[in-house]
A and B are shown apart, each in its own frame.
Chain A
Amino acid sequence: MKKLIIYAVLFAIAILMLMPFAWMVLSSFKEVDEVFTYDMTWLPSTLTFSGYYRALTEQPFLRYGLNSVWVSTIITILQLITSVLAGYAFSRLKFPGRGVIFMVYLSAMMIPSQATIIPSYILIRKAGLIDSYAGLTLPFLAGPFGAFMMRQFFLSMPESLEEAGIIDGCSRFQVLTKIVLPLSKPALASLGLFTFMGAWNDFMWPLIIINKDSMRTLQVGLSLMRSDIYPDWPMMMAASVMATLPIMIAFLAAQKQFIESLTFTGVKY
């Protein structure tokens, strides 16, 4: 009986939580006139892809998508590299001031991005990088979170393998690429997913750094779609589906890594 109540409550909450997704997907397959009727129906009367078609043809949505893929990929790959390097230095290499430098770098996480956005914008503009991929990616190519996460992971690994490698005559770089990295796949996967998701969903920075339509990311393009008096809801829902789907698929495929990386800072105190 107790179990039954728990299930009932959980199912009720799950329905409420999933309802916006259902509404998004179902609306995306409707015709425009079907959306503007007073007796609402859940299911589209005829399944149509015209919303998707309009998003891809009347709007440069494909271009936005490619920009997002490209920008998120660059950020993810380079942030993995810089985080591994920094995390390795902070966990395995001995140098004067290591603890202090690490603490200072870590405390940078306290600074909200909005507090630094104006000078960052001015810097990018002075460098002539407005409306460029470099402008979109540069500030995110390294970060304290990634360095912290990789450091914690390396600290949890036994050092003896690396020592054996050094004794066998490997260089530090070879130790890192041949011994440490192959053992770090779970951490790399978590950090990679987390970074990709953050870059994919990021909004404020691409909003201010891009003026040219052809350089817009999905999120920015999406945010500018709603302006009409009679908004094309099926098209906007189709666009939202396309903007959500890649991350959703990745999430369903790698739920554990997603949840681990998102709560990493929360659980480790």
Chain B
Amino acid sequence: MHSRWKRLGNEQTKTALLALLPSFIIFVAFTLYPIVYSLYLSFFNASLLSPNRTFVGLTNYSNLLQNPTFQKAVKNTIYYTLGVVPFGIALSLLVAVLLNGRLRLRSFFRAAFFAPVITSMVAVSIVWTWMLEPNYGLINNLLGLIGIAGPGWLTDPAWAMPSVILLSIWKNLGFNMVIFLAGLQNIPTEIYESASLDGVTPFQKTLYVTVPLMRGPIAFAVIVSMIKSMQVFGQIYVMTGGGPANSTMVIVYYLYQQAFEFYRSGYASAIAWVLFVAILLLTLIQNRLMRTEA
């Protein structure tokens, strides 16, 4: 006990505590306390507008699971994830494989593919809304040139979610591409050379040599994309507002509506915790995968 106090009193410890203090305050105030408090709130019937609240046990959770809009939101979030992740990952991998190697204009292509990643979701969502405008927008005009009458992308319940998925794939392609490019550089070139000697086509090479060797980066990109997909919000807020007919209602948009439009802070906290647990599970799977890779 005595030696411990002595250690705590030494100069490095004091300096370290002082250096960590600002981060610690922000962490406690805006992460640790909120995550605990939102669990607490989720057991109450509470409103953002009034300080009164009543304990209701697990009622918020059972109401949530039975609520048809929430069920729709979960289904739509899964739909969105299944649209964005496989296609997005496959496309990014293709682009990375094509870009990996000595190419003229390599940095131009990389910059072009990466540019959407850094732009604001709100701005590009507005641009895409304009591109998808049924009468005067770019996409239906281009489709018209080849004789196709395009749908009302964001006003037709069948097409609204695919439109949002398309935007998201476009926006995230560059992020996954860069992860894959970094992974591809770790593959020794001798492996490719011996594969070429054995008379393997480029397609076979990608499928049987590159993909297995890229298991780690692919697993990482898949999980990160899934986590991001579960948090989709900005493009929904700007492009569709969850509509038409709840066809793009997703979990975080539902949370936002319940908390900040209907002020149901207890109920919305239950949504927050369901989301948190789902993301936590994905992260734990990711950590397990990364460990077996290492």
Contact = CB atoms under 8 A, between A and B. Distances in A.
Interface of A: 2, 6-7, 9-10, 13-14, 16-21, 23-24, 27, 35-38, 40, 81-83, 85-86, 88-89, 93-96, 98, 101, 105, 108, 110-112, 114-123, 138-139, 141-144, 147, 172, 197, 200-201, 203-204, 207-208, 218-220, 222-223, 225-226, 231, 233, 236-237, 240, 243-244, 247-248, 251-252, 255, 258-259, 262-263, 266-267, 269
Nearest to B202: A2
A17 B113 contact: yes
Given A10-B109, A248-B119, A269-B294, A262 B175 contact: yes
Interface stretch (B16-24, B59-67, B70-78, B207-215): B16-24
A114 B237 CA distance: 14
B224 A96 contact: no
Contact of A20 (B8, B95, B120, B128): B128
Pick the 7 closest A-B CB pairs, nearest first.
Answer: A116-B34, A119-B34, A115-B276, A85-B19, A142-B26, A139-B30, A93-B16
B138 interface: yes
Given A96-B7, A121-B48, 16 more contacts: A2-B202, A18-B112, A40-B141, A82-B22, A85-B20, A86-B23, A89-B20, A108-B32, A112-B279, A119-B34, A197-B118, A203-B120, A207-B237, A219-B120, A262-B117, A267-B179
Most buried by B among A23, A115, A197, A243: A115
B294 A110 contact: no
Nearest to A101: B20
Nearest to A105: B27
B255 A108 contact: no
Interface residues of B, number: 96
B107 interface: yes
30 contacts: A10-B99, A20-B131, A21-B115, A38-B135, A82-B22, A89-B15, A89-B16, A105-B23, A112-B231, A114-B275, A115-B35, A115-B273, A115-B279, A118-B48, A119-B34, A142-B22, A144-B27, A201-B120, A203-B234, A204-B256, A219-B123, A223-B238, A226-B126, A236-B126, A237-B126, A240-B126, A258-B118, A266-B179, A266-B221, A269-B290
Nearest to A225: B126
Contacts of B269: 118
Nearest to B99: A10
Nearest to B186: A267
A23 B256 contact: no
Interface in B1-48: 4, 7-8, 12-13, 15-17, 19-20, 22-23, 25-27, 29-35, 37-38, 41, 48
B275 A247 contact: no
Interface in B100-133: 103, 107-124, 126-131, 133
What does DSSP make chain A's interface, helix, strand, loop or mixed?
Answer: helix
A22 B260 CA distance: 36
A17 B268 contact: no
A83 B255 CA distance: 31
Nearest to A194: B118
A118 B265 contact: yes
B121 A233 contact: no
A123 B32 CA distance: 13
Contacts of B252: 114
B160 interface: no
B238 A118 contact: no
Contacts of A27: 130
B280 interface: yes
A114 B233 contact: yes
